[in-house]
Amino acid sequence: MEQIKERLVSRYRYSWILLKELVKTDFKLRYEGSWLGVAWSVLKPLMLFAVMYVVFVRFLKFSDGTPTYPIVLLCGISLWNFFSEATTMGMQSVVTKGDILRKINFPKYITVVAATVGSLISLAINMVVVIIFGLFSHAHFTWRIVFVFLNIGELYVLALGVSMILATLYVWFRDMQHIWEVVLQALFYAVPIIYPITMIEQMSPEHGKTIAKLMLMNPAAQSIMDVRHNLISPENVPTVWTMVNSWYIQIIPILITVVIFGIGFSLFRRYNYKFAEIL
Amino acid sequence: MTHQDSDIALRVDHVSKSFRLPTEQASGLKQAVINWTRGIKGYRDQEVLKDISFTVHKGDFLGIVGRNGSGKSTLLKLISGIYTPNSGSIQVHGKLVPFIELGVGFNPELTGRENVFLNGALLGFSEKEVEAMYDDIVEFAELEDFMDQKLKNYSSGMQVRLAFSVAIKAQGDILVLDEVLAVGDEAFQTKCNNFFNEIKKDRSKTVILVTHSMESVKKYCNKAILIRDGRIIVNGDKDEAANLYTQENLESLNSKSGKQGKIGTNGHPKGLNDTVPLLRCVPQSKVVLTSQESFEFDVEYEFTKQEPFFMALSMLDARRGGIPYDSGTMKMGVGGQGRQKMHFSLPLRMFNNGNYQITASLRVKDPADEDHTNMVAFTNEENSCSFSIREDAKGTDYALLKYAAVDMKHDGPHGI
């Protein structure tokens, strides 16, 4: 018993040391050789936001008419950026670290965790920017902010689960890179980020409400809407909790997240011992 | 000597390993689906290691030798936990630090310092632990002034030195090293040599070393295993393993004489021609010998022209270089007799340990100078034959000639 405990401690000690060092070096290397360095993790979503704001809000008039819409858009873009970056980097992490994998035995999941945690750090920086912007653009900060950590936690678990599925598949099938790029693009439009969810509701008087509710069953959409609701605008951002009445439908997106993580975890665990031989 | 179980550092128990080699390039969905629908496996199994068992005790310095492709590296990766065995088990007691390659994870964009910490973390050392070894590492690598430079600005020799220093200073119980001895300049080599001699004495450290240098096996190891085609041939005795390995290598060199090597533009292998379509040396005795024995070999030849010809044999010293012995030209009579052979016996009593090669050449009289001969044909790499002298007596490794062969005289010391 004592031996088992010792073993567990020493095993997770290694994982922890490695995770810290990998996250640190990945972060250093990400902006290595660029002029503005870490500033890019703030600048990039801001620039993307500027483009989308001009195209969708000013030009195509996608707006729910509330004064918080621009900041809600920025928040959504930051969160989506995190999800798409974390899953893409997570998918590639095992293969990019293949060189190390073939030379040293270490817990393979660390590579996926390190890649997604790296994106999480960028998200944290972005969220600070969102809050600062919010101060000047009618954001309504309330006690609900404490829920934001749960919501982002859910989005992270989802991203990690998806990453583990993709990373395992990617070792055998490099096609995944292209497939996932397309799926991400489709998902981006399926999540109400550049358009308000009220727009869907108004499109068809009879089915609009149902379609909007269905869209919120996507855990990515649900958690992103939740973050916007709890962080910026409790009044103007509807969520699954405000739109759906029955609790057993409300928890569907959370269940999906748990299931995806479970699949990712067991798939990864079942096959990770083979990675070094395949790569 | 019996050992208790607590003395065991590593136990490899009936381990087998096979790999699936894809018969077609199947790293894509399309191929996977095609194979699946056609019921093709898309791969074949290759057995790399078969029923390997051995035990390493604490303080051992184990050498693993074997020819390329024998399964040494796979075994090392199994021990390091990178691969998992198909059957059998591997138990490791103590902290194992693997060096399948030096400087794993080294990144050219990071500074020397950052790389040391990253490499350390990969080997399982916390920041604090690396901090404690850091000065030692830098000092050993002699790179004090370069640690804040990016690795890409290092020379390749400096990179290797840094990587090797991390390896050496890493405080593990079991070190697993894969052919990493031949690095650095001469001064660094000497340091490494000292390190290995020290670790050899340290009873708390266990080293597992894969190498092709039989010299290092004899110098550092107290045990060795020889692997051939995925099986253990010698388990334990380092001299037996080293000698058998040398013999295996020589045999493969000598066995090539049947093939005569690549055919050149004249329709003959290099060194041969229409006048001499056959010339080769074939060993008739063992090829790993002691100096008490003689190396027996045949020279097979065919000289097609009806004129007198000569033969000359040379003995090459592969390790020290040079030609320790030459037979001089031997009169062979007149050619045109078809294929012939001639037996030779070379006594080795004068020579020390080494790897030697016998080459033969056929010659004719120089028309311009009666006292000289011109070479008509010679044995190329494939048609020559090799042998080794292996003894354990003191001083048999260094000089070519034995003490008794020269028998230098001296008187007592007196003032000048």
What does each of the 416 residues of chain B score in pLDDT, given as a tens digit? Answer: 445 567 888 999 999 998 877 766 555 677 777 777 777 766 778 888 988 999 999 888 999 988 888 888 889 899 988 899 999 999 998 888 888 777 778 888 889 999 999 988 888 888 898 999 899 889 888 888 888 989 889 888 888 888 888 887 777 888 888 876 566 677 777 877 888 888 888 888 898 988 888 888 888 888 999 888 888 888 888 888 888 888 887 777 766 544 555 666 677 888 888 888 889 899 998 888 888 899 999 999 999 888 889 999 999 988 888 889 998 888 888 888 888 899 999 999 999 988 899 999 999 888 888 788 888 888 888 888 889 998 877 777 888 898 888 888 888 898 88
Q: What value does the CA radius of gyration of chain B take, rounded to a whole number of Å? A: 27
* CA geometry: angle B245, B246, B250, nearest 5 deg: 120
Domains, chain B, with CATH or none? 5-250 (3.40.50.300), 263-389 (2.70.50.60)
* Residue B367 Cα distances to B191, B248, B264, B335, B372, angstroms: 58, 44, 27, 17, 9
Instruction: For residue range B247-296, list pLDDT tens digits in order.
Output: 887 777 766 544 555 666 677 888 888 888 889 899 998 888 888 899 99
Closest CA to B103 of B81, B120, B124, B83: B120
Pick the range with the lowest mean pLDDT from A41-55, A213-227, B75-89. A41-55
Mean pLDDT of A131-160: 90
Tell whether B364 is within 8 A of chain A (Cβ). Answer: no
Q: Is A78 helix (H, G, I), strand (E, B) or coil?
A: helix
Residue A29 neighbours by CB under 8 Å, 6+ apart: B107, B109, B110
Q: How far is A117 from chain B (nearest CA, A)?
A: 17
H helices present in B47-143, as ranges: 72-79, 112-122, 127-141
Record the pTM.
0.75
pLDDT of residue A142: 86
Phi then psi for residue A88, to 5 deg, are -70, -50
- What is the three-class DSSP state of B101? coil
Residues 6+ apart with CB under 8 A from B309: B303, B332, B333, B334, B335, B362, B363, B364, B376
> Does B32 contact chain A (CB < 8 Å)?
yes
Classify the C-alpha dihedral B319-B325-B328-B331 as positive or negative: negative
Residue B389, helix vs strand vs coil: strand
Name the residue facing B101 among A14, A25, A103 (closest C-beta). A103
The answer to whether the CB atoms of A172 and B19 lie below 8 A apart is no
Residue to substitute from A6, A20, A100, A103, interface B, most B β-carbons within 10 A: A103
A166 interfaces chain B, CB cutoff of 8 Å: no
Residue B38 host element (H or E): helix B29-38
Check residue A184 and give its pLDDT. Answer: 96
Contacts of A273 in chain B (CB under 8 A): 84
Residue A250 to chain B, least CA–CA distance (Å): 37
CA–CA separation, B92 vs B81, rounded Å? 10
Out of A14, A32, A102, whose CB is closest to B82? A102
pLDDT of residue A240: 82
Q: What is the pLDDT, as a whole number, of residue B265?
A: 67
- Name which of B13, B16, B206 is nearest B98 in CA terms: B206
Selected for mutation to probe chain A from B122, B128, B166, B177 (highest A CB count within 10 Å) is B122
> Would you state the structure tokens that stand for residue A205, as one six-digit string?
């008087």
Q: Is A172 on the interface with B (CB under 8 A)?
A: yes
B110 to chain A: which residues are within 8 Å by CB?
Answer: 25, 28-29
Distance, CA of A128 to CA of A78 (rounded, Å): 11
Smallest CA–CA distance, residue B127 to chain A, in Å, is: 8
Q: Confidence class of residue A38 from pLDDT cuts 50, 70 and 90?
A: confident
Question: Is B84 an interface residue toward A (CB < 8 Å)?
Answer: yes
What is the maximum span of chain B, computed from C-alpha positions, in angstroms? Answer: 94
Residues of A with CB below 8 A from B27's CB?
Answer: 172-174
Task: For residue B193, count CB atoms less than 10 angstroms from its CB and return exposed for 0-12, middle for 13-18, buried for 19 or more.
Answer: middle
pLDDT class of A169 with cuts at 50, 70, 90? very high
pLDDT of A253 reads: 93
Distance from CA of B145 to the nearest CA of A (A): 22
State mean pLDDT over A130-145: 86
What is the distance between the alpha carbons of residues A46 and A130, in angstroms, rounded to a whole number? 10
Can you list the pairs that A19-22 forms with residues at least 24 positions away whose Cβ atoms lie under 8 Å? A19/A110, A19/A113, A19/A114, A19/A117, A20/B121, A20/B127, A21/B117, A21/B118, A21/B121, A21/B122, A21/B127, A22/A110, A22/A111, A22/A114, A22/B118, A22/B121
Q: What does DSSP assign to residue B68?
A: T
**Other CB atoms within 10 Å distance of the CB of residue B307:** 12
Give me the pLDDT at residue B294, please. 92
Distance CA B292, CA B349 (A): 6
User: Is residue A61 pLDDT above 70, yes or no?
Assistant: yes
Contact residues on chain B for A102, CB-CB shorter than 8 A? 82, 100
Measured between beta carbons, the chain B residues lying within 8 angstroms of A175 are 28-30
Question: Which of B29, B100, B117 lies at the smallest CB-CB distance from A21?
Answer: B117
What are the domain boundaries of chain A?
20-278
Q: Does the beta carbon of A178 lie under 8 angstroms from any beta carbon of chain B?
A: no
- Name residue, tokens 């050789």: A33
Query: What is the arithmetic mean of pLDDT over A9-18?
Result: 82
- In the numeric block, the tokens 């990373």 are attached to A167
Residue B98 touches chain A, beta carbons under 8 Å: yes
Is A269 within 8 Å of chain B by CB? no
pLDDT above 70 coverage of chain A, percent: 99
Cα distance between the two ends of chain B = 56
Beta bridge partners of B10: B56, B92
Split at pLDDT 50, 70, 90, the class of A264 is very high
Alpha carbons B103 and B160: distance in angstroms, whole number? 7
Tell me: pLDDT of A227 over 90: yes
Q: Residue B185 pairs with which residues in a beta bridge? A: none
Using the CB atoms, write b or e for B246-264: b if 16+ within 10 Å.
Answer: bbbbbeebbebbeebbeee
Q: B344 and chain A: CB distance < 8 Å anywhere? A: no
Exposed, middle or buried: residue A11 (CB in 10 Å: 0-12, 13-18, 19+)? exposed
- Residue B247: the pLDDT is 80
Res. A155 pLDDT band, cuts 50 70 90 = very high
Measured in angstroms, the CA of A7 and the nearest CA of chain B are apart by 12
Whole-number pLDDT of residue B42: 67
User: Cα(B179)–Cα(B216) distance, rounded to whole angstroms?
Assistant: 11
A190 — pLDDT class (breaks 50, 70, 90): very high
Task: Please name every residue paired with B373 in a beta bridge, in sequence order, or none if there are none.
Answer: B365
Task: Give the list of residues 6+ apart from residue A59 with CB closer than 8 angstroms, or none.
Answer: none
Touching check for A175 and chain B: CB below 8 Å? yes
Residue of A9, A13, A25, A279 to mutate, interface with B, max B Cβ within 10 Å: A25
pLDDT of residue B1: 45
Q: Are A106 and B109 an interchain contact pair (Cβ–Cβ within 8 Å)?
A: no
Residue of B nearest to A33 (CA): B109
Our CA-based measurement puts residue B249 at a distance from the nearest CA of chain A, in whole angstroms, of: 28
A-chain residues near B84 (CB < 8 A): 273
